[in-house]
């Protein structure tokens, strides 16, 4: 089955998405997600100029060889742009193989380990009260696990909500440049335990609670936060420190029993190798879209399983429904799947463009049985939603020093 064309689309049906469509001489096509929030057009150029010409005429069934060809073969390994581009090709090829076999992708991986995918939602607010109201609404909707983030008094527009009350994970296309936020670790560390104390007082110990530090602490600060939060029994503490230097997590680990999660910006298994083999973390948050696709995610899941580490993939609205579907097939299969981040996606604009096989029921995602990944993309409908340049925010300390966002 020969690849005859590769089409790359960039549209904004609510969010910017880069979509890859691989067409074959058998009439079967596959779809992949190549969305890299805030750097979309770099991936578009990588695919158009550097990948597409190499793949025309290749056998679409040769998923492993094509993955190796794009990873080893290009000499310049790793990196988010490269790995997001490879991810989209890989997903599209798994989609094609599934359609050719008339089987959902999870069947090709080895079948189901579970019937449904547990998710955690997000409760955000401009103060504790608002965040807890949001948590209450999510519990009422059936969520079993919720991440709590809250704007911090004295830190105008910080994590949770931006200054104009727009949620940080919405499209920021009305801002010509990255929005800037102020960060102060001491103010944060003095404030955040109160959020979890009040959440437990109001909703008890059953609901699973999570928190994302977005890499803003040093290892010893993260260790202190972990210890302070231990009584509130978090499901995990995410991105407590940056992980370019993986041994940072060793120091967090040594001081606290809070479960640790990291990985949403990792691109290859090498980004997590020491974290996993030293058991410095409990959950690995890599997602198919930014980690090179389904082929390497399968290896990462198996590698992690040797060290008691479970999968908790990144699931923001800046991953397209194709990427969410790829995660879902992996989640249904992986014996060591734990939880999927799910902020909700959909809305009429998005649903005009993507038809996807996922439904939320009682705090879990259900994956409909359809051949391949089970997503369809209406390229005509997508045309009217043109790409809008949008940046993630940046953080600075009060003296102007650039910090981790």
Rounded CA separation 301/284 (Å):
9
**Is 212 a binder of Co ion (CB under 5 A)?**
yes
Rounded CA separation 273/97 (Å):
29
Q: Which of 85, 341, 342, 364 binds ligand EZ4 (CB under 6 A)?
A: 341
Rounded CA separation 38/292 (Å):
18
Helices 80-101 and 63-71 cross at an angle (nearest 10°) of: 170
**Would you say the C-alpha torsion 369, 370, 371, 375 has a positive or negative sign?**
negative
Q: Which of 61, 74, 136, 169 binds ligand EZ4 (CB under 6 A)?
A: 169
**Is 318 a binder of ligand EZ4 (CB under 6 A)?**
yes
Residue nearest to ligand EZ4 (CB): 316
* Residues in region 258-287 near ligand EZ4 by CB under 6 A: 264
What is the x/- site pattern for ligand EZ4, positions 18-57, by CB under 6 A? Answer: -------------------x--------------------
159 is catalytic: yes
- What are the phi and psi torsion angles at 10 (to 5°)? -130, 120
- What are the phi and psi torsion angles at 246 (to 5°)? -65, -30
Contacts of 287 (CB under 8 A, 6+ apart): 264, 297, 313, 314, 315, 319, 323, 327
Q: Closest separation between CB of residue 54 and ligand EZ4, Å?
A: 28
290 is catalytic: no
Question: Residue 1 touches which of Co ion, ligand EZ4, none (CB < 5 to 8 A by kind)?
Answer: none
Q: Are 134 and 207 in contact (CB under 8 A)?
A: no
Q: Are 237 and 258 in contact (CB under 8 A)?
A: yes
**Is 341 a binder of Co ion (CB under 5 A)?**
no
Q: Closest separation between CB of residue 191 and ligand EZ4, Å?
A: 19
Whichever of 95 and 239 has its CB closer to ligand EZ4, that residue is 239
Whichever of 52 and 216 has its CB closer to Co ion, that residue is 216
Question: Residue 357 touches which of Co ion, ligand EZ4, none (CB < 5 to 8 A by kind)?
Answer: none
**Is 184 a binder of Co ion (CB under 5 A)?**
no
User: By the criterion CB under 5 A, which residues form the site for Co ion?
Assistant: 212, 264
């Amino acid at each position: 089955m020969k690849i005859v064309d590769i089409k790359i689309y960039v549209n904004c049906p609510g969010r910017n998405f880069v979509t890859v469509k691989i067409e074959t001489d058998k009439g079967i096509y596959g779809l992949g997600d190549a969305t890299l929030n805030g750097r979309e057009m770099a991936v578009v150029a990588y695919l158009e100029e550097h990948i597409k010409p190499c793949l025309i005429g290749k056998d679409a069934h040769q998923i492993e060889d094509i993955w190796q060809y794009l990873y080893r073969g290009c000499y310049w390994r790793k990196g988010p742009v490269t790995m997001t581009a490879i991810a989209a090709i890989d997903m599209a090829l798994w989609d094609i193989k599934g359609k050719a076999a008339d089987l959902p992708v999870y069947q090709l991986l080895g079948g189901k380990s579970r019937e449904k995918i547990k998710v955690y939602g997000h409760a955000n607010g401009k103060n504790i009260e608002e965040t807890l109201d949001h948590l209450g609404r999510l519990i009422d909707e059936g969520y079993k696990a919720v991440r709590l983030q809250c704007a911090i008094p004295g830190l105008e527009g910080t994590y949770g909500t931006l200054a104009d009350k727009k949620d940080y994970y919405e499209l920021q296309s009305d801002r010509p440049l990255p929005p800037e936020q102020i960060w102060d670790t001491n103010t944060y560390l003095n404030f955040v335990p109160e959020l979890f104390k009040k959440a437990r007082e109001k909703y008890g110990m059953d609901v699973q609670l999570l928190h994302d530090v977005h890499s803003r602490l040093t290892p010893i600060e993260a260790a202190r936060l972990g210890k302070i939060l231990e009584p509130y029994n978090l499901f995990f503490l995410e991105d407590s420190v940056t992980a370019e230097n993986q041994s940072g997590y060793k120091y967090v680990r040594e001081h606290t029993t809070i479960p640790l999660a990291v990985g949403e910006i990792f691109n290859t298994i090498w980004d997590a190798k020491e974290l996993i083999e030293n058991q410095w973390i409990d959950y690995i948050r890599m997602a198919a879209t930014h980690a090179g696709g389904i082929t390497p995610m399968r290896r990462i899941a198996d590698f992690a399983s040797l060290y008691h580490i479970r999968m908790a993939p990144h699931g923001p609205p800046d991953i397209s429904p194709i990427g969410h579907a790829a995660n879902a097939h992996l989640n249904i299969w992986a014996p060591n799947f734990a939880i999927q981040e799910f902020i909700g996606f959909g809305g009429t604009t998005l649903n005009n463009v993507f038809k996807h096989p996922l439904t939320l029921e009682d705090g879990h995602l259900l994956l409909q049985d359809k051949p391949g990944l089970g997503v369809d993309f209406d390229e005509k409908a997508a045309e009217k939603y043109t790409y809008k340049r949008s940046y993630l925010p940046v953080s600075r300390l009060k003296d102007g020093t650039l910090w981790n966002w």
